């Protein structure tokens, strides 16, 4: 969950997505059969977020070299995070 919280903190609307606090982050099937990440807040509300938006956003504190490395591995990171959460549900 620490990895997903770190990814969520990079979202352009992370303050709105986190809201009252994070109880958990889960993967569920969304409209059309696609799987999406959802934040379950401490007040029991649920909101979706795009990991792609989080990973595609450049961090001004990092150098261009680090940004390029992050951009190259973004799909691998999303896949591993997804598999970690999916295996925990089985």
For residue 1, pLDDT beyond 60: yes
Q: Indicate if the pLDDT at residue 69 is higher than 90.
A: no
pLDDT average, residue stretch 54-64: 66
Q: What does pLDDT average to over the chain? A: 78
Count of Cβ atoms closer than 10 Å to residue 51 Cβ: 20
Residues ≥6 apart with Cβ < 8 Å to 49: 8, 11, 17, 37, 38, 39
Give the residue-averaged pLDDT of 12-29.
88
pLDDT at 41: 93
Both structure tokens of 43: 């007040």
Higher-scoring residue by pLDDT: 5, 64 = 5
- pLDDT value at residue 48: 87
């Amino acid at each position: 969950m620490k990895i997903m919280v770190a990814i969520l903190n990079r979202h352009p609307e992370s303050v709105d997505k986190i809201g009252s606090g994070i109880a958990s982050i889960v993967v569920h099937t969304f409209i059309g059969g696609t799987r999406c990440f959802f934040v379950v807040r401490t007040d029991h509300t649920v909101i979706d977020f795009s990991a792609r938006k989080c990973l595609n956003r450049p961090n001004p504190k990092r150098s261009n070299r680090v940004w390029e490395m992050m951009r190259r591995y973004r799909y691998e990171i999303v896949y591993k995070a997804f598999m970690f959460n999916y295996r925990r549900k089985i």
